Structure 1
Amino acid sequence: MSWNSPDPRNFHYHLHAHRPGDSSPLGGTEPTAEDSINTDELPESLRQTIERLELIVHRGGHSRWPMPTVREYIARISAIVPDGTRNTYSGYWRVVEQAWGDRRLNEPTTAEITDLVKQHQSRAAPRINATQARGAGGLIDALRCLYRYAEYDGLIDPSDNSARKVARPPQTRRSKLPLSIEQLHELADVAETTGNDRELDGLIVRLHMETACHRRSPLHLHIHDIIREDCTLRLREESGDLRWQPISPTLLQHLLEHIDARGGSRTTTQVLRDHTGQPVTDRRYDNLHSRFRKHLRWAAEQHVTVTRIRYTTLNYVERQFGKAVSRAYGGSHRHTGRNTLFPYNRPGIYDVARALQSLTGEEQPLAHGPFPGLSER
């Protein structure tokens, strides 16, 4: 069929057809209502395209909803972010809400954000792992998270995002330096010989040494997160992500004995509990860290927490098995390189189990891999 044939099914003909005798630079007259296209006769896919374009043109330069106040938007974002994000940033968002709650979200400038960060630093109470930039990094991260969602919602253009333009203070490297073997033994000795619950504190230190988990992960560890057959734990990260972490048979046995000796599942489903069977909280960690500083001068000078134990374990794994295995051991699978095979050849739980076996000197069921006959020697 020719494009110029007067076939009513020919879309090109509908666009350019004109009546005989009309005069125009192209042989026709100015379009009239009779010459307009009846969209009811167009194919369904084309009609949907036209409607989508009309929607884009209609929304151009306009957000999906009026610019909310800072208080309104914090409430909206707090309801949709993961629990880990909410727990991390809620305190900082309260600071922002107190300062600018009734202002529109796009009103605070870069200079005002910088000034708010300085004010927060001057008021922030020193923490045991504080640096000179105490509170600054967390507040900036919270603001960036808030305004990143505003970008997603079309409320703020990325080029106008004031939170992006505020520099985050560099994090000190001292807090991430690994501990020596002697220092690890001293921390374990303090946990097991001081305090009102030595068995619990010793178990906490051993748990962090083997799993390199974050501080909050053991607080959310429940009985059903223990997989006895494979000697693994299902850990919840601060971000809300889950990861399966191999542990030694000795640690598994201690965890099970701890649960049975303190009421089993009758009192709570949480693994770590005190003498009364009640779940432990952050206060247990604060008490443990205080005793580290009280009994060890170097621990007080370096503001040592269980996080330093995590860095020490990951440093050992990196030196012995490489960075990729160390990232997997610590629950991080981020990859910024250009290796397109990374999703297929990145280290897995079997590599982590082999690293744990080297760390503890105990056999781990998963260390032989899915094919024991082909496993690495």
Structure 2
Amino acid sequence: MAADPARIAQAWTLLADLGVTLADLQHDARPARPTFDAYLPQVLAAAGPGALRTYRSYWHRMTTTWAGRAIDTVTASDIQALRQQVTDHARVRRNSRDGRHAGELFVAAARAFYNRAIADGLIQAVDSPAHRVGKPRRLPSTRRALTPDELTEINLVARTSGNDTALDALLLRLHTETACRRGGALALRPQDLDAGRGLLMLREKGGTVRWQPITLDLAASLSRHAAVRGAVLPTDALLRYRDGKALTSRRYDHLWNRIGLHLPWVATHGISTHWLRHTTLTWVERHFGYGVARAYAGHTDTTGPATTTYIRADLQAVAAALAAMTGQPHPLAQPTDRPPGGHLQT
């Protein structure tokens, strides 16, 4: 039976007199939304390790601030105000930029929170207040490639100070050869090491997995380290403290704090493990080109110019770059006419 246009018009007139809109009717028809404190456990359970590490503190901040409030009652202005609080009270470090990074991470955390609510059908995408708040513009990074002399100084301090110089020297060598991130190193297991062929399987952010060439010397050192420090099962953590416990990110903090005490310029510039990644990838790009550097870094994103789709390098090309950079032959390296750099020898 077709609806009577006259009756429809009469109904709209009545609703208008009552001050009721279609959105009000749709909103009332939906079940009540959970509060922030009631919904947070669901968000935490669905988040991956990387998201938990990055966003957990901001999610708890949101829940503490808006405890008891339904997730659909917070406005863009509320999120903007809390972002400003996070920015104003961000921890001050040598490389801080007036809390901009903290503000950016907070907005990303709020968007991730509401993305979960959207996926669960609790709100519509257009109703997310977090997506109506802009992120602070990211400023260019102050990181740069270290010079060979700077790298030598850092390695010397790591090898001659501290309570576990063998571990610290191994960490610096690992990150300098592979350009891996801290998370990739901490995720290593004995089964990720192919010592005979000089390969290491890296599992890093975004769920990326790749085989990364390493020198046979580093492969042998990693194998000995795992065996001596109690890595028994193939799935055990490879990197370990002297007492056999699995390595944590605190070792990196301790390492760079100590190096900064011995080398004031390290503390002044806020140098960290990620600077080693910049150093290695810069060298590879300068000597072997963008395609090899992109493969060396493990970048799999498709953003940027369309030509990046066709600029790809294989494992053999990465191995050749490693061999030239370290001055050590690699079993998978392609012949190259580039002279060996050897600047990473320590």
TM-score range, shorter chain: 0.7 to 0.9
CA distance in 1, matches of 2:303, 2:205: 22
- Equivalent position to 1:356, from 305, 322, 325: 322
CA distance in 2, matches of 1:189, 1:345: 37
Match of 2:133 in 1: 166
Shift of 1:362: 1.6
Q: Percent identity?
A: 36
Shift of 1:307: 1.0
What letter matches 2:71 in structure 1? L
- Equivalent position to 2:227, from 257, 260, 273: 260
CA distance in 1, matches of 2:275, 2:213: 20
CA distance in 2, matches of 1:151, 1:68: 13
- Equivalent position to 2:153, from 186, 189, 203: 186
Match of 1:272 in 2: 239
- Equivalent position to 1:117, from 50, 71, 83: 83
TM-score by length of 2: 0.80
Q: Does 1:74 align with 2:40?
A: yes
Paired residues, number: 313
CA distance in 1, matches of 2:82, 2:39: 18
**CA RMSD, Structure 1 to Structure 2 (Å):** 2.9
Match of 2:62 in 1: 96
Distance 1:246 1:114, change over 3 A: same
CA distance in 2, matches of 1:376, 1:181: 23
What letter matches 2:169 in structure 1? G
Answer yes or no: is the 8 Å Cα contact 1:82–1:240 preserved in 2: no
CA distance in 2, matches of 1:189, 1:121: 37
TM-score by length of 1: 0.74
CA distance in 2, matches of 1:179, 1:246: 22
SS at match of 1:245: strand
Structure number with bigger Rg: 1
1:141-198 C-alpha deviation (Å, 9 max, x unpaired): 2112222233334433444332223232334434322221211111111111110111
CA distance in 1, matches of 2:331, 2:134: 47
Q: Which runs of 5+ in 1 are unaligned?
A: 1-29, 32-59, 369-374
What letter matches 2:328 in structure 1? E
Match of 1:142 in 2: 109
Matches within 5 A, 1:225-264: 225-264=192-231
Answer yes or no: is the 8 Å Cα contact 1:68–1:104 preserved in 2: yes
CA distance in 1, matches of 2:163, 2:143: 29
Q: Does 1:304 align with 2:278?
A: no
Match of 1:325 in 2: 292
Q: Which runs of 5+ in 2 are unaligned?
A: 3-24, 338-346
Answer yes or no: is the 8 Å Cα contact 2:87–2:98 preserved in 1: no
CA distance in 2, matches of 1:122, 1:290: 25
Distance 1:190 1:173, change over 3 A: farther
SS at match of 2:46: coil
Answer yes or no: is the 8 Å Cα contact 1:129–1:305 preserved in 2: no
SS at match of 2:332: helix
- Equivalent position to 1:347, from 313, 320, 328: 313
Match of 1:83 in 2: 49
Answer yes or no: is the 8 Å Cα contact 2:291–2:311 preserved in 1: no
Shift of 1:263: 3.6
Distance 1:188 1:345, change over 3 A: same
What letter matches 2:154 in structure 1? L
SS at match of 1:347: coil
Match of 1:38 in 2: none
Shift of 1:248: 0.8
SS at match of 1:196: coil
Distance 1:101 1:324, change over 3 A: farther
